Structure formats: C-alpha cells, structure tokens
C-alpha cells in the first residue's frame, strides 16, 4: 500500500462503528484490483473522456466504412448537379456600360436605360473605385483571406462550425467567402440545405477559375444589397451620402461594407439603424487596422470622421419612366434571370448596362388616352373641396388588353403625374378585394361552361341561409337588402344579386370554381387556399390586381382562350441578336358559346345599369355601335370600386379607391361611380376611330322561349305575359322541354254552353 493511501487510511473514521459500514460490508463482494485513491479527479475525468472519445471514434469509423461510399456518392451527386454559372458578360471590367432602350409597338422610343438613371442599382467598374478603401473594408469584415483561398476557406468553415457549437447552434460569423456570396448574388439561390451549400462550394471554385479576384470583388460590390431597395456600392453612395462611390472616404467605405450583413438592421435611414451601422463601422475600421490595411493615423482619423447622410435628389438628371415601361422592363429582367439561371439583381444589371433594345406591346394611342384621363381631377374627385381634409386623396389604376393578342396595350398605376421611378404601381402590385366584379369569373362563367345554367334559368331570390358556419343567420344579403322572388340568371347577374351568385357557386362547387379562376390567371383568392362561400361575391383575403382582372375578363373577349398578359415582344442585344422573344402562356378555358352568353348578359349591365348613365354601349365617331360588356364591383364597406369589361377590340379593368396607408378611408357616395366613369371615358376615346363591331354569335347558339317559371310556355303564360325569349346552347338539357308545358299557369277551362230549349207545341 502506498504512503499516500496508508496516511489517508490512518486518518479515516473506522467504518465498523457506523451503520453505513455494516451495509457496505453486507453488499461488498470480491476485492478491488487497484486502489481507488491513487489518481486525481482531473486524471479520472480525462480517463473517462478518453474512453468516450475512443468509443465515438470507433463509431464514426464504423459509420464511415459503412456509409463512406454513400457519402462520397452524395458529394459527387451534388457536384454533378451543380449548374454552371453563366459568367459571360457578368462584369464590366475592360468594357464600357452601354445604354439600353425601350420602344412602343410602333418603334417609338419610350425609355432610355442607363446606370445613372436607375437610382436603385448603378453598376460601377472595380477600376473606378479601386483607389478607395471599399475592397479593404469588405475583405476585413467578410473574408480576410479572400486573396489567398481558391473560392472556399476551410479554416473559416471550421471556425464557423466551432462557433456554432460554442453558441448553442448559432455561429457568431458565417463560413461563406466573398466568392461564395458572389455566387449567391449571381444565382439568387440561398436555400439552407446541405446540397445547396456543397453546390455553392463547387460554384465558388469554378468562379475563381473564370474570373480574377478583382472581377469577383466587382460583382460583389455591385450586387450586394444595401438596404431600402438599393443594390450595389454606387447606388448606396449616391443615396446615402449624395456622392459617387469613387469619392468615398475610409469611414464611409467601412460603413457601406457593413450593410449587406443585415440591410434592414443597419438601415442608415432609420434612427436605430443609423446607430447600429455606425457601431459596425467602428468594428470594421478596427479590423482594417489590425490587418494592416490602414495606418494608425488613418484609423484614428476615420474614427473621428463625422458621417454626413445626404441623399441625392431622386430626380436629378433622371428620366421618369412610365408605369408601363417599368413593368415591361421588370418582365424582361425576370425572363433574363429565368433563362440564364441568375438572380434578378444580376439580370437587372445586365438589362440596364448591356445596350439591350426592348420592344414592348404598348399601343401609343391607347396609352395616351389613359395618360390624359389619369390627370383629369374631375374623374377622380367629383367634389374636391369635401376631400381637402382627408389624409390622402383617391387614386386608381387601369389596364387595357388587346383582345386579339392578349398583350398589354396600356397601363396606368396611379392618379396624377408620375414623378419618380419605381414607385408603387397599383395596376400590378396592389391587391384589392374585387367585390361583385368576380362573379362572372368564379360563379357564372364556370356554371355556363358546365351547362349548369343558361341566361333564362330561374332562381328564387329570397332570404337564404347559405353560410355553413352560421346556418341560422340569413346570408348573403343583397346590396339593396331587397328580394325579388323568381328571377332569371340574366337579371340576377345584371342586378348583381348576391343570393343567386352564391346559389350558382354552390352548383359549381367551391374547388371547381377556384380551378376555373386559376385558369384565367387568378390562382388563389385567399392566401391560405381555403374555400368558403363568400368568395362567390368577392369576400377574399388575398385580393386581386387590376392587371389580373383585365386579363381574366379578356378570356371572354378572346373567345375563351386565356393569355398570360405580356408587355414586350422581343429583346435584342447591341449587335441585333435576339436575347428574348415573347412566348406567352395560353390555354383554352371556355367555349365560344360560354363567352357569347357571358358577353350578351353583361351587355345588360352597360345598357341598363350604372354605365348607361355615362354613355352605355360604346359608339365610334360615326355613330357605329361597338358591343360593350362589363361588370361593376363594390366591397361591402365601400373601400374598393371596380369596373371590368370588354369589347370585340379591347378588355380593360379599372380600380378606384384609396391606398389606405394612414387609415382606412371609405369612398364617399358622390364618388361611387368614378370607376365606371374612368372606364367609359377611356374606352370611348380608345374606340372612336374603330369600326362598328358585335360579339360573334356561334352557330350553336339557339333561341328558345320560356315562361318565368322556367317551363315551356302555354297560352296562359302568354296571356299572363310571363313569356320571354333567351339564348341557349343547342342540345342543352336546359332548353325548356316542349313536352312539359308550364304547370304554374293553367289555361282556364272553356265553359260548356247550356243546351237550347225546344219550342213546345200548343195544346
């Protein structure tokens, strides 16, 4: 026994005098093979941990032997599936930026695109700003070994993993290099998955093979998000400091280098964001000093520099593009990104700087009418003095579609003169409740197509209980709160009866109704994808855009074919080569018979409803009639007003209301009809030189008489004047059966004359 053990034994209390000792002896068997007190606590812990480590190593090796082939296969699979980056013309190094142009359908120039005119993203070559400290600032905070690695930094990746382990799964910094971040900015892919990360590694190494470090840095500083929709160092410098990137000082370079990590958190235009970005700026300056990119004198001077935020005038030297031109450019950017597999940010840079020629579908004469109408105050404010105290004024949007091609002919995104680029386009970006204007698309159109109704089909307009969640509460209610009893589909749609609309929707089925709606370009009325009866009358959560409504109604005008609305026909590069050609999605949704029946019914809205007060059916300058169909739409709270309609030439939709940015504003009663007024004003001017035209009636449309009861009329029906003639599809089961005459109106029996008395003989 060792001296240590002997001394400890001598000083211990004898166990035989304790109850615990008795218990230990009773349960103790055998003898120890070595002393339990000959090693320290740290020694014991290390022994334990080493044993655990050995077990873990064995398990990992086993898993590695078993799964190694599978893991390697996975890595090879990820690598093989990595899409090669389209690195051609990604940078402007060694070449000058070229102006791109936008043209209308007649070849007239409507917009000129240069970096200087696009305040949100302005491309600048690395050579122009290399003398500044922007690259040193970016390298210091994002990737200090940028000029040493080949695309990925194994040391940084390992550090990020250890950082995550030390901080409960959240790393204090990322493992991505500047090259990897450039890959994400080029591809637009940022999903958090193992496969994407591995593919990103391979893409980064590939990018390093094709581009120099300066070119990669150029891509990064031009594509990095800088907050407030600003992209790239040049737009950030102009909009935050009122200067070009080439004039940035060290402190400003450090501040801008810190923004891409979290543009919203470090937003210099917010007070809290300004404090955050200034703190980060000082951290970056310290890193720049520690890495030797700046001297102690420069470091101290930068710390003491007063940062002045001075935004550049958003309109200085900038041509303001129309809503149409901006939407067409946006479509081109999206299609370039999709065709080349790159991000929208990079696609935008290419479109603005590569001398593209974009030929749009804008019809100048049609667009001129909308431009003029949307500056007419009397169309938007019938009583301006009563609106003076409102926090915002009414506005609207309108889209006109060429019925033959399905192309966008004209667009307006707001009332008044457009004073800035890239402002809210209400025609394409504002989603509003459609009210009753949705009824032809979700109720009656599908029902006509499925042969469930005809214009003469009878429904009973009465108090109903069609809300499954509240079966004891009368719903829906008509706008007028009145009921008319038996009523035809034609009259129910023209007078916008909510009761009948929901009944028809029930006949179609909610899922089927939404399917038809998706076929005309409106995927979901509710963001959650639920089906509920109020959708039948415009009760929606997600809302619709003016462009969507115009394109959906154009399906009826075109004879049943939906065309995904498009704004350009082709894009050529500076050498005249075709970059893109319009290839709009089309699909057959409705038969020609359904379209004619719908158009004929909706003509009644124009001739007898509110539009009749503003001209009704359109006439050209020579008095020739042009068939006009349409439907009004009003939300129950009078927040939104719509008119959507079409002629044989054009389809158009108008939304009218308030943006409601500050508070929800109800449209006053004297402005209720402004959507109709705007639509009729524009469409009358658009059609003034067009020939008279009618909606084409298919040969399969027949005329049949029906009693108001829905049955084949008899003489009693005629005497009661309940007979009306209407259109039906030939062979439809909805045509009144001639062998089933009306049982409601029964002819009165012909009275039998009394027999004549014979003259008696005289006696």
Distance CA(52)–CA(46), nearest Å, equals 10
Distance CA(381)–CA(404), nearest Å, equals 34
- Closest C-alpha among 373, 371, 351 to residue 363: 371
Q: Is 436 in the active site? A: yes
Q: Which of 343, 348, 436, 496 is catalytic?
A: 436
Residue written as tokens 């009218």? 656
Q: What is the pLDDT of residue 638?
A: 94
User: Do residues 689 and 650 touch, judged by C-beta distance below 8 A?
Assistant: no
Q: State the number of CA atoms in the 13 A half-sphere of 519 facing the CB.
A: 18
Q: What is the pLDDT of residue 184?
A: 86
Class (C level, CATH) for 120-303: mainly alpha
Q: What is the pLDDT of residue 753?
A: 63
Distance CA(415)–CA(378), nearest Å, equals 11
User: Do residues 516 and 598 touch, judged by C-beta distance below 8 A?
Assistant: no
Q: Quick check: helix, strand or coil at residue 686?
A: helix
3-state SS, one letter per residue, for 366-418: HHHHHHHHCCCHHHHCCCHHHHCCCCCCCEEEEEEEECCCCEEEEEECCCCCC
User: Do residues 220 and 233 touch, judged by C-beta distance below 8 A?
Assistant: no
**CA separation, residue 614 to residues 333, 365, 633, 640 (Å):** 40, 22, 16, 20
User: Do residues 266 and 227 touch, judged by C-beta distance below 8 A?
Assistant: yes
Q: Quick check: helix, strand or coil at residue 619?
A: strand
Q: What is the pLDDT of residue 756?
A: 59
Q: Where are the domains of the chain?
A: 120-303, 699-749
Q: Which of 97, 140, 142, 593 is catalytic?
A: 142
Q: What is the pLDDT of residue 749?
A: 66
Q: DSSP secondary-structure letter at 115?
A: G
Residue written as tokens 């115009």? 550
pTM of the full structure: 0.78
User: Do residues 399 and 643 touch, judged by C-beta distance below 8 A?
Assistant: no
Please, what are the averages of pLDDT over each run of 10 residues along the chain (763 residues)? Answer: 38 40 38 41 62 57 51 47 54 61 96 67 85 95 90 73 56 71 80 64 84 92 89 91 94 96 92 94 96 95 91 62 96 93 85 91 98 97 93 96 98 95 94 96 98 96 91 92 94 97 97 95 76 90 94 98 98 94 96 98 96 93 96 94 98 97 92 98 98 97 92 89 93 92 79 56 39
Q: What is the pLDDT of residue 218?
A: 92
Q: Tell me phi and psi for residue 757, to 5 degrees.
A: -80, 140
Distance CA(222)–CA(126), nearest Å, equals 9
Cα three-residue angle 168-173-175, rounded to 5 degrees: 105
Distance CA(633)–CA(581), nearest Å, equals 36
Dihedral of CA atoms 374, 375, 379, 383 in degrees, nearest 10, equals 140
Q: Is 142 in the active site? A: yes
β-pairing verdict for 100-103 and 109-113: antiparallel
Cα three-residue angle 549-671-666, rounded to 5 degrees: 80
């Amino acid at each position: 026994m060792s001296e240590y053990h002997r001394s400890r034994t001598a000083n211990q209390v004898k166990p035989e005098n304790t109850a615990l000792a008795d218990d230990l002896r009773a349960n103790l068997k055998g003898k120890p093979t070595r002393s339990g007190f000959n090693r320290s606590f740290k020694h014991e812990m290390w022994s334990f941990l080493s044993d655990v480590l050995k077990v873990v190593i064995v398990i990992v090796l086993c898993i590695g032997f078993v799964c190694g082939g599978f893991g390697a296969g996975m890595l090879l699979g990820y690598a093989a599936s990595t899409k090669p980056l389209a690195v051609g013309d990604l940078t402007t190094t060694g070449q000058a930026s070229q102006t791109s142009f936008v043209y209308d359908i007649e070849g007239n120039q409507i917009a000129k695109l240069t970096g200087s005119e696009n305040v949100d993203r302005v491309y600048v070559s690395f050579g122009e700003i290399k003398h500044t400290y922007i690259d040193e600032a970016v390298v210091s905070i994002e990737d200090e070994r940028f000029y040493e690695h080949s695309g990925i930094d194994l040391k940084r990746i390992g550090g990020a993993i250890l950082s995550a382990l030390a901080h409960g799964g959240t790393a204090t910094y990322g493992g991505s290099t500047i090259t990897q971040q450039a890959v994400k900015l080029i591809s637009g892919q940022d999903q958090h998955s193992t496969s994407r990360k591995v593919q990103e590694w391979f893409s980064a190494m590939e990018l390093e093979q094709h581009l120099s470090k300066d070119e990669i840095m150029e891509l990064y500083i031009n594509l990095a998000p800088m907050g407030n929709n600003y992209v790239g160092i040049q737009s950030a410098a102009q909009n935050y400091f009122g200067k070009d990137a080439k004039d940035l000082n060290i402190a400003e370079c450090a501040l801008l280098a810190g923004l891409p990590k979290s543009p919203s958190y470090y937003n210099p235009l917010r007070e809290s964001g300004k404090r955050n970005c200034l703190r980060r700026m000082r951290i970056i300056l310290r890193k720049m000093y520690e890495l030797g990119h700046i001297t102690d004198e420069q470091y101290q001077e930068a710390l003491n520099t007063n940062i002045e935020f001075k935004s550049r005038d958003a309109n200085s030297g900038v041509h303001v593009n129309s809503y149409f031109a901006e939407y067409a450019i946006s479509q081109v950017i999206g299609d370039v990104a999709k065709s080349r597999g790159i991000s929208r940010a990079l696609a935008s840079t290419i479109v603005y700087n590569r001398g593209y020629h974009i030929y749009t579908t804008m019809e100048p004469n049609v667009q001129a009418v909308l431009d003029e109408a949307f500056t007419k105050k009397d169309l938007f404010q019938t009583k301006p003095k009563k609106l003076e105290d409102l926090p915002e004024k009414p506005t609207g949007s309108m889209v006109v579609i060429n019925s033959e091609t399905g192309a966008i002919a004209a667009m307006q995104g707001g009332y008044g003169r457009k004073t800035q680029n890239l402002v809210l386009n209400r025609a394409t970006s504002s989603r509003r409740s459609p009210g009753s204007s949705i009824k032809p698309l979700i109720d009656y159109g599908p029902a006509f197509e499925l042969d469930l109704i005809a214009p003469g089909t009878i429904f009973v307009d009465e108090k109903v209980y069609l809300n499954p969640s509240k079966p004891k509460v009368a719903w829906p209610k008509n706008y007028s709160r009145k009921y008319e009893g038996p009523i035809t589909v034609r009259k129910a749609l023209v007078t916008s009866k909510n009761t009948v609309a929901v009944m028809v929707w029930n006949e179609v089925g909610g899922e089927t109704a939404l399917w038809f709606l998706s076929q005309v370009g409106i995927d979901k009325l509710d963001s959650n994808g639920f089906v509920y009866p109020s959708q039948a009358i415009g009760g929606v959560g997600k809302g619709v855009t003016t462009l969507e409504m115009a394109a959906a109604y154009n399906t009826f005008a075109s004879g049943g074919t939906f065309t995904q609305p498009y704004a350009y026909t082709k894009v050529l590069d500076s050498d005249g080569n075709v970059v893109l050609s319009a290839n709009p999605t089309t699909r057959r949704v409705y038969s020609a018979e359904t379209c004619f029946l719908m158009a004929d019914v909706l003509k009644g809205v124009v001739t007898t409803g509110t539009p009749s007060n503003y001209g009704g059916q359109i006439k050209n300058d020579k008095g020739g009639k042009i068939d006009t169909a349409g439907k009004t739409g009003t939300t129950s709270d009078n927040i939104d007003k719509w008119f959507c309609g079409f002629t044989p030439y054009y389809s158009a939709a108008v939304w009218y209301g308030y943006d409601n940015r500050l508070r929800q504003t109800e449209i006053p009663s004297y402005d209720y009809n402004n959507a109709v007024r705007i639509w009729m004003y524009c469409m009358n001017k658009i059609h003034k030189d067009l020939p008279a035209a009618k909606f084409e009636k298919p040969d399969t449309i027949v005329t049949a008489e029906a009693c108001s009861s829905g049955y084949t009329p008899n003489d009693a029906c005629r005497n009661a004047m309940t007979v009306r003639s209407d259109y039906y599809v030939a062979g439809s089961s909805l045509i009144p059966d001639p062998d089933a005459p009306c049982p409601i109106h029964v002819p009165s029996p012909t009275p039998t004359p009394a027999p004549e008395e014979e003259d008696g003989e005289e006696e």
